[in-house]
Structure formats: structure tokens, C-alpha cells
Structure 1
Amino acid sequence: MPVAPIRASSRRHAVLLSGALVLALAACSGGPTAPEPETVSQHADVAVAKAAAPAPVVPPRWPLTGQSADAVVERPALAVKIENPKEVRPQTGLDQADVVWEQVVEGGITRFVAVYHSQVPEEIGPIRSVRPMDPAIAAPLRGIVAFSGGQQAFVRELGAAGLQLMSQDGGAAGFYRKKGVAPAPHNVYATPQTFWDAADADHAASPPAQFTFARTAERASAVLAGTPANELEVRMSGYSRPRWTFDTASGTWLRSEGDTPATARSGARLAAANVVALEVRLVDSGTKDPAGNPVPETVLVGSGEGVVVSQGRSLAVTWSKTSTDAVLTLAAPDGSPVALAPGVTWVELVPESSGTITVS
């Protein structure tokens, strides 16, 4: 029970009684009227009691991972085209990306759009050419995209999407041919810091968040509303069948290429806090690669079904994207936004006509 108000009230009553006694005595003696008694205000005590509690200190978070940090460095997102045929594995720097998108290209092989922001690798590669779906992936980042080259129509679309282009064919600094890894054209590598140093004023800001993140892994939507899951198998094509297995010790999903554990050249296992597997339409872009193979295009403007795995749980989702530069959104079965676990996210763009997504 507060003590100060009680004492204040007691003093007030004491002063009032004392004043009344003085008045009575004065009336009897015919002397001068006593001064009005001094009252004791309780306003200070009330103000203290009503003072608002200090606002909690919320640490800054990296926008592409949702992970907290002492400070978030202001720099643009860097999206890099990394290839993925068997002969180039393991890739360099892939384990340091914040987000990795996997897409099917000609011949059923896959390529990655690896997005860097919270970490700065010393080296990344092998780097290859752009494809028609890359503007829809990279445009919402509003940053830099690095690639070896590409058909002029694809390159123009990237530029029209508001991105700063770093092209080896275009003469951008930072690219080089690396000896002892693979024959050309599979040996283009780069120093990413060179790309960041060349960012212009229109592409210097940090990216907006691309996903909604829970504050903790335990508050992720798949954990709260999903079902138990230990393995996610994705058939991208007859050539590419990545598999993700939940690792309880690290709380991450570990990637394998088929039955072969996937690693970076550093030796680190490729891992993700979240894997987002989306059913997408794959259409003929109407173009061919230099070898004469039709170039497919993943259609990302639209909507579809998918699944998200976080921790040891999975959740069915609906995805939607309203325009090339709009962020792709994920909704739970009840229509609520999906919150991912803080950390690295891999996005598998699985052709709905020929691919499969299996959770077990």
C-alpha cells in the first residue's frame, strides 16, 4: 500500500484540526482571525503514479533475414546469378547469402539468384547470365544485380526494373576468370565489395524487407500453426532434385543435391532457417540460348500454392505477386500473413506442370 499519500492525508487532517482550534480560541478571545490552513497537494504523487513506462529498446534487424544486430550497415542488396550444374559444385560464397532463389533454366538445370546484404563474402561464383524471370525476383530489392551477360532483351528488362546492373560483358569492374575451378564459361567469379563500392546514389539504400519475420523462431507461422516435418523433397526437373532435411541441433534445414550433401567451397553445409517451395507456371519465353535450347520463363506475377518449412514444421501457403516490382507475399490457410523464422531463406520455384513438392 502506498505510504506517501497516507502521510499526506494525515498531515492535512492534522493541519485542519489545528486551524479549527485556533479559530475557536480566537473567537472566544476576540483576537484576530487565524490564517487559512496550508493544504498539502497530492498532485506530484499522482503524476508519478501515472507516468508511462519507458518504451522497450528494440534492436535493429537485418531486413532480409529478420535477425537482430548491434547495428545494421546501410548498403544495397546485391543479387548475383550463380549457376548450379554438377560440374561447378561446390559454389563459392553461396553459404553467406541472405536469400537464395532457385529457378529452372534450359535443359532442366537450375540457377540461383543469391542475394547478399548482411554478410560480405570475399568472393562469389561461378557467375552466369540472366534469365527472363530475374527482374521479378530482383526488382523489389531496389539494389544491384550482378551477372556475366545475357540476351539483350533480358538485360534491358533488368534495367527497366529499376536495378543497377553490373555486367561482365558490359565491362563492370570486379569480375575475373578463376583458374583451377572449371573451364569457361563456368569460371567467372567476382569480388562483391567492388560492386558495392560502385553503387550509385539511386541504389545505395538498404533493401526493404522481402518477407515477414517473427521475432523468434518459436513464433514462426509454421511452428505455431503447421504440422511436424523432417524432410522436404523438391523435384525441379528430371535433372535437379534438391532435398532438405531438418537438423534439430542447429535448428536449420540442410540442403542435399539428391542424396549428396550440398556444401559451399568453404566446406560449410548449405542450410536455411526457412525453405519456401512454390508451385509456379513455366512457359516458353520464345527465345533460345546459344546452343539452340528453348529458354523457359518462370511466371511470378500472379498467384499459386506452396509450402513453407521452418524449424521442424511445415505449413501450406498461398503466394501472390501483383507486379514485377511488388514483393511476393505469403498467406496461411486462414488468410493471415505468414511469418518466417529469423535467418536465411531459400525459395524453390517448382514448375507446377513437371515438378513436385513432397513433405514428410
Structure 2
Amino acid sequence: MIKVSNFPAGPGRPHAGLSYADLVFEYYIGEYMNRFLAVFYGQDTPKAWPLRSGRLIDPQLVNMYHGVLVYGSADERVDEKILTELGMRAISNLNAPCPPICGELTHSATGVYVDSASVTEFTSRHGVENTRPDLRGMLFSETPPQTSQYGASVLVQYIRWNRGEWRYDDQSGKYLRWIESWDQGDEYPLIPLVDQLTGEQLAFSNVVILFANYIEYNYRLHDVEIWDNTEMQRAVFFRDGLMVDGFWRAPLRDHPIQFFNQQGLPMQLKPGNTWVVVAGKSSEFNQSSPGQWQCLFDIP
């Protein structure tokens, strides 16, 4: 599970390797910025870039998905939490060779990348168990859900200069990612977000927005209450051009997040890759026009 930066936008985009990920978590890190945690399970990427620092939410997610966290160091308080929870399953650029963590200008925000296959080899040599994890909790079905709500697109906005939109593509059956441009003045128009390794626009089978409680210690230090959520929390799901209102919960610290539809039955995702946005509970979610949805991020 590799940390991928979304800022600084100019030198750090387009990202590398996100199209190879089975699962990507997106969450807020302060100062109107977001960051990604990419899970590589079914296939490897020769380059996940740019690698950035760890956050307090990371050890929660890594334990739930039985992963190894690869990150570009962290604030001292964050690093202590990461090492306490993950031990040898936490790999910082400060204590790993090349490969798996390589690149010039290692002090730079965009100077380091990760070879995911080499992460497996590195951790195995250091005694980290590399068996098939138990990831029960996520269900998949080719059959679209029964709903009258169309989900042609969904915009996630932190501020005008940080927003991303998913637009459903009938031909591929996936949602294509758009992102604000920093090269066309202060209007920040949306442009296709491509993977620099393939030159193709990011395409995901499922887009999930779950609403969770953020804890703000200061404007750059946040935690998110994912663990020990035994009650149903709100979530919305986009697949097959449809939107489904539902719920999520995480009663077990060593099992994946569970998803449910409005009736409380397990929500079946579309087979393929999934992008999960962790939005604050105060975020506004509405339909700007038929089939066009938006999530305006906010925390208390």
C-alpha cells in the first residue's frame, strides 16, 4: 500500500502507477489538499510516484487490508503511530534501499518512486509474511443494482483549485477521472487525469464516498475515525452509471470496510478497481442536475 501525492500539482502530475491499483483511498490532509493511498494486490507497478509522507489514517487502513505501508517518512508524532501499529510492515524512504524506493532528489516532494514488486521481495527478505490475506467483506457482482438514481458523474471538491470529477463512460463501463489544471490560469478547468506510465486516463469500475469523522489536531495534522465503527455510517456508491445511497461500517480492525445498500444488505460492487473517497461528515452531498452529483468536502 503506497502513498501517492496529489500536491504540489505542477511537478507532481500526472501521477504514475495509479491505474495499476486495485483500490485507492483518497483523504484530506489539511490546507485544502488531499492524498492517495494505493493498494496493489492483483498486479504490480514498476513506478508508483510521487511518494509522500504517512498520515495517521494509514495504519488503520493498512491493518484492515493486511498490507505493507510504503511512505516518504512522516511527522514525528505520525511516524510513532505508524511504527507502533505496523512494525516491520512500515517501510519509509529513510530506511529502504533502491529498489524498492528509488529516485533522485530524495528531499524533494516529487523525487521518489516505488517499485511495488520490489516491495514484496524486500519485505520477504526481512521476514514479513507474504501469504494471501483474508479480505472478505467486499462483495462483487456483474449485475447492476436496482435503483432509480442515475450517477453519470460525481465531483469531489475541497476548494476550487483542488477538485476531481468522475464521469461515467458507457463504452468502457467505467468512471473516468478528471482533475483541475494548473496550467490555464486561475479558472482551473478540469482536464483528463492520465497515468504517466500508460498515457491513458484513469478509469475505475466503482467510486465510493464514505462519510467519516475527522479529528483535527492542527491544520496539518488529522486523524479519521475508521476503526471500531460498529454503527452504520453513510456512504454513496457509483457503478454502471448509477448512484446508490447506503452505508459503511468497520467493526473489525483486521478486516476490510464493509459496505451496505439502503436496505442494509451487503452492497455488491462491480468487479474491477475501486476508488474510495473519505469525506468529512459535514461534507455537503447533492445533485446539481439530473445524474450529476457533487460532494463539497468539509469537516467541523
Q: Same fold (TM over 0.5)?
A: yes
What's 1:91 paired with? 15
More divergent stretch after superposition (301-310 vs 342-351)? 301-310
What's 1:21 paired with? none
Are residues 153 and 326 of structure 1, via their aligned partners in 2, closer, same or farther at CA, if it must alter by over 3 Å?
farther
- Deviation by residue 1:120-163 (Cα, 9 ceiling, x = unmatched): 11111100010011112111121211111012332333334346
Are residues 237 and 356 of structure 1, via their aligned partners in 2, closer, same or farther at CA, if it must alter by over 3 Å?
farther
Are residues 355 and 241 of structure 1, via their aligned partners in 2, closer, same or farther at CA, if it must alter by over 3 Å?
farther
Matched, 1:159 2:83: yes
> Deviation at 1:232?
1.1
Answer whether contact 2:137 2:255 (CA < 8 A) is retained.
no
What's 1:308 paired with? 237
Answer whether contact 1:280 1:351 (CA < 8 A) is retained.
yes
Whichever residue aligns with residue 81 of structure 2, its letter is E
More divergent stretch after superposition (312-321 vs 154-163)? 154-163
Moved over 6 A (4+): none
> Deviation at 1:326?
3.6
Answer whether contact 2:215 2:222 (CA < 8 A) is retained.
yes
Answer whether contact 1:132 1:285 (CA < 8 A) is retained.
no
What's 1:351 paired with? 280
Show the 5 A alignment for 1:122-141: 122-141=46-65
Matched, 1:227 2:149: yes
Instruction: Determine helix, strand or coil for the equivalent of 1:199.
Output: helix
Gaps of 5+ in 1: 1-78, 287-292
Show the 5 A alignment for 1:1-360: 79-85=1-7, 86-87=9-10, 88-162=12-86, 164-173=89-98, 174-178=100-104, 184-200=108-124, 201-209=127-135, 211-216=137-142, 219-220=143-144, 223-225=145-147, 227-258=149-180, 259-266=190-197, 267-285=199-217, 293-301=219-227, 302=229, 303-354=232-283, 356=285, 358=287, 360=292
Whichever residue aligns with residue 132 of structure 2, its letter is S
CA distance in 2, matches of 1:354, 1:315: 17
Q: Percent identity?
A: 21
Instruction: Determine helix, strand or coil for the equivalent of 1:161.
Output: helix
Higher strand share: 2
Whichever residue aligns with residue 265 of structure 1, its letter is Q
Higher helix share: 1
- Deviation by residue 1:200-224 (Cα, 9 ceiling, x = unmatched): 35430123326523342xx24xx33
> Deviation at 1:297?
2.1
Are residues 251 and 178 of structure 1, via their aligned partners in 2, closer, same or farther at CA, if it must alter by over 3 Å?
farther
Alignment RMSD? 2.3
Normalization by structure 2: what TM-score?
Answer: 0.82
Instruction: Determine helix, strand or coil for the equivalent of 1:113.
Output: strand
Count of matched residue pairs: 270
> Deviation at 1:261?
1.2
Whichever residue aligns with residue 262 of structure 1, its letter is L
- Which protein is bigger by CA-based radius of gyration? 1
- Deviation by residue 1:82-114 (Cα, 9 ceiling, x = unmatched): 000222110111111110000110211111000
- Deviation by residue 1:24-64 (Cα, 9 ceiling, x = unmatched): xxxxxxxxxxxxxxxxxxxxxxxxxxxxxxxxxxxxxxxxx
